[in-house]
């Protein structure tokens, strides 16, 4: 099932999402953009980076709303610890307690902090550190990083801590305590949590993102500031407050592990492990590449795909996004009157499996053939400019072979091709092309014009139009911005009849003139006209002569007919009179 949907009508094929996709899990084929589900790690970059808002998250809250409306169903919210930095805006009269009150108003029967689950995860990390059997330990709290490793760096799976995320840990705690029928809904800023929880229904039942939460509060008319006057803080019975609330900021996991460890740290290391925090997907990938190459020692590494930690998660409402301020708020919230909470030790083991997506990699001959088709027959022609969204021309060629990209997504090649075709068109056409600026200075002068006027392009660009031809029509177009189309006129200086089309180009404030030499055509037309006149005169003479002859024949025929009639009448009368005599 896909978790990101593309609105085709909004997408303008700008390649921006592909440029910002660290694993290139987006395809552009036949003007259709798609997220490749089996390659996507759900970092959410493409959703937020799209200027046209063409990508939306697929997370239907229908079931959650139905549970909330059912009084027979117990629904518990597992509230991600980043909420303390996003919903505690004092200038708006908000505090974490007000959000919990708002969640109760929506119908949640219980509101607990995911930090309780994080406390259990910290205990597991401490156990792994104490055991010391893993060469290096990679935290597994971020499902985007987990997917990145299992899909693209499966050789590093042995270093992944075999521990569930805080959200799954907390869900298991709630269900073990309240019963398996209890519905657990994770509320937070993460896109990849949607898939993680959907794949682990035994731990939790659904996800409500912070964006969806804000939209739901607005739809229900629930104002956090208004709740401020209801005594929410006084009514709130705070759950145990482990320092694990520090998880959503950089080095939060490391700080929690160190604070709760029963052994001291020497020079920042523990039991031979050095500690490192890596935030931001680009940095995480760079680290994983180094680790895969064997350049890293014995480490405990906190990995988070979001730059600045979970307080800068992909599905935070934009009006609440203030990562640095949120970081300060979370750190203060975690430090205020925290309690050391004893772990309850639910089953937290998780075995990560390789999910390497199948990739059909072409051989070198095929790659070079694809590159040659876009003007890169040799490596020195490869620009590696990244305008297509891929880091190198080779990556783009491989994507073409895999059916993820169009061949002609190469902008420099298409630009060169367009420029080349444009130059060929301008210079090969038999028409004169002359372009002038507002001061009637010539800014373009093609080969046909050079030949006609006997002036080189270099000389013409230093010439004003009136030196070559009457500028009146150009002045009219510049003044009115109305084009002149197919106007017949004379080029007096060259004894030439031309048909001109003058086009105003507002972006450059210039006029381009296209001139066709129709002198020969007009000469042929004149010769044809004269020939027709001569033929008409000859035809008239023939007609007149024929009419004369016809009239003469008619006259003769008239006399002959009269004589014949008289003769026949006489003959008839004679026959009749002879009959009477007999």
To the nearest 10°, the Cα dihedral for 216, 217, 218, 223? 180
Stretch 474-483: mean pLDDT:
93
Q: How many CB atoms lie within 10 A of CB 222?
A: 15
Q: What pLDDT score was predicted for residue 494? A: 62
Q: pLDDT for 503-521, tens place per residue?
A: 998 888 899 998 888 888 8
Give the mean pLDDT of the chain. Answer: 86
Q: What pLDDT score was predicted for residue 570? A: 67
Please name the residue that has the structure tokens 């050789």: 155
Assign 238 a pLDDT band (cuts: 50, 70, 90).
Answer: very low
Indicate whether 400 pLDDT > 70: yes
Q: pLDDT for 283-334, tens place per residue?
A: 999 999 999 998 888 999 999 999 999 999 999 999 999 999 999 999 998 8
β-pairing, 55-57 vs 4-6, is antiparallel
pTM: 0.71
Q: What pLDDT score was predicted for residue 162? A: 96
Indicate whether 453 pLDDT > 70: yes
Q: pLDDT for 547-582, tens place per residue?
A: 787 777 767 666 666 666 666 666 666 666 665 554
Extract the tokens encoding 338. Answer: 């925290």
Task: Please say whether the beta carbons of 413 and 375 come within 8 A.
Answer: yes
Q: What pLDDT score was predicted for residue 203? A: 95
Instruction: Please give the residue that has the higher pLDDT: either 418 or 308.
Output: 308
Element housing 226 (H / E) = helix 224-227
- What is the secondary structure of 349-403 as a DSSP string? B------PPP--PPPHHHHHHHHHTTT--SGGG-----TTSSSSHHHHHHHHHTT
Instruction: Give percent of the chain above pLDDT 90.
Output: 47
State the alpha helices, DSSP H only, in 429-518.
447-453, 457-460, 472-480
Stretch 176-196: mean pLDDT:
96
- Residue 288 half-sphere exposure toward CB, CA atoms < 13 A: 28
Task: Please say whether the beta carbons of 299 and 164 come within 8 A.
Answer: no
Instruction: Please give the residue that has the higher pLDDT: either 4 or 228.
Output: 4
Please name the residue that has the structure tokens 């709303």: 65
Q: What pLDDT score was predicted for residue 269? A: 81
Q: What's the rounded Cα separation, in Å, for the pair 239 and 82?
A: 16
Task: Please say whether the beta carbons of 537 and 529 come within 8 A.
Answer: no
Indicate whether 230 pLDDT > 80: no
Q: What pLDDT score was predicted for residue 237? A: 43
Task: Please say whether the beta carbons of 434 and 515 come within 8 A.
Answer: yes
Assign 415 a pLDDT band (cuts: 50, 70, 90).
Answer: low
Stretch 253-266: mean pLDDT:
75
β-pairing, 75-79 vs 183-188, is parallel
Stretch 250-264: mean pLDDT:
81
Q: What's the rounded Cα separation, in Å, for the pair 159 and 301?
A: 10
Please list, in sequence order, all residues whose beta carbon lies within 8 angstroms of the beta carbon of residue 118, skipping any fewer than 6 positions away. 81, 141, 166, 169, 170, 242, 244, 245, 247, 256
Indicate whether 164 pLDDT > 50: yes
Q: pLDDT for 36-83, tens place per residue?
A: 999 999 999 999 999 999 999 999 999 999 999 999 999 999 999 999
Q: pLDDT for 331-354, tens place per residue?
A: 998 888 677 788 877 788 888 888
Stretch 359-363: mean pLDDT:
82
């Amino acid at each position: 099932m896909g978790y990101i949907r593309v609105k085709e009508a909004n997408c303008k094929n700008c390649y921006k999402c592909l440029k910002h996709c660290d694993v290139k899990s987006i395809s552009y084929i036949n003007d259709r953009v798609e997220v490749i589900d089996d390659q996507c790690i759900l970092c959410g970059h493409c959703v937020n980076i799209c200027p046209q808002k063409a990508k939306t998250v697929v997370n239907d809250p229908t079931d959650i709303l139905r549970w909330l409306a059912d009084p027979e169903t117990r629904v518990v919210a597992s509230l991600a610890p980043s909420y303390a930095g996003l919903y505690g805006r004092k200038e708006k009269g908000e505090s974490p307690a007000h959000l919990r009150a708002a969640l109760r108003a929506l119908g949640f029967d219980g509101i607990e902090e995911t930090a309780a689950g994080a406390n259990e995860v910290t205990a597991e990390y401490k156990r792994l550190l104490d055991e010391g059997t893993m060469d290096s330990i990679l935290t597994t709290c971020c499902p985007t990083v987990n997917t990145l490793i299992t899909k693209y760096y499966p050789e590093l799976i042995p270093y992944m801590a075999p521990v569930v995320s805080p959200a799954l840990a907390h869900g298991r705690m709630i269900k073990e305590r309240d019963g398996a029928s209890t519905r657990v809904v994770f509320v937070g800023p993460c896109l990849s949590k949607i898939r993680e929880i959907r794949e682990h229904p035994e731990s939790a039942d659904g996800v409500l993102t912070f964006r969806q939460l804000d939209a739901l509060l607005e739809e229900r008319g629930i104002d956090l500031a208004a709740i401020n006057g209801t005594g929410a803080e006084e009514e709130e019975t705070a759950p145990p407050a482990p320092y694990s609330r520090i998880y959503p900021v950089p080095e939060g996991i490391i700080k929690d592990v160190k604070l709760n460890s029963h052994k001291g740290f020497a020079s920042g290391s523990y039991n031979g492990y050095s500690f490192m925090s890596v935030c931001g997907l680009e940095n995480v990938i760079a680290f994983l590449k180094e680790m895969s190459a064997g350049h890293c020692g014995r480490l405990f590494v906190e990995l988070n795909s979001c730059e600045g930690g979970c307080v800068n998660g992909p599905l935070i409402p934009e009006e609440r996004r203030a990562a640095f301020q949120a970081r300060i708020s979370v750190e203060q919230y975690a430090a205020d009157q925290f309690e050391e909470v004893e772990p309850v030790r639910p089953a937290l083991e998780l075995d990560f499996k390789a999910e390497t997506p199948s990739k059909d990699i072409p051989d070198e001959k095929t790659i070079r053939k694809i590159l040659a088709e876009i003007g890169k027959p040799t490596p020195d022609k490869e620009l590696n400019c990244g305008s297509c969204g891929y880091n190198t021309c080779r990556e783009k060629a491989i994507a073409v072979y895999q059916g993820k990209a169009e061949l002609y997504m190469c902008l420099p090649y298409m630009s060169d091709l367009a420029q080349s075709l444009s130059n060929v068109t301008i210079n090969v056409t038999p028409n004169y092309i002359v372009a002038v600026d507002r001061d009637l200075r010539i800014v373009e002068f093609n080969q046909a014009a050079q030949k006609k006027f006997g002036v080189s392009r270099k000389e013409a660009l230093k010439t004003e139009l009136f030196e070559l031809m009457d500028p009146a029509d150009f002045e009219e177009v510049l003044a009115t911005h109305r084009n002149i189309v197919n106007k017949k006129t004379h080029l007096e200086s060259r004894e030439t009849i031309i048909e001109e089309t003058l086009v105003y180009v507002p972006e450059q404030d210039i006029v381009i003139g296209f001139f066709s030499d129709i002198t020969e055509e007009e000469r042929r037309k004149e010769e044809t006209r004269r020939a027709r006149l001569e033929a008409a005169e000859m035809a008239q003479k023939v007609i007149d002569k024929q009419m004369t002859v016809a009239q003469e024949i008619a006259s003769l025929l008239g006399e002959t007919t009269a004589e014949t009639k008289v003769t026949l009448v006489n003959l008839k009368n004679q026959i009749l009179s002879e009959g009477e005599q007999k």
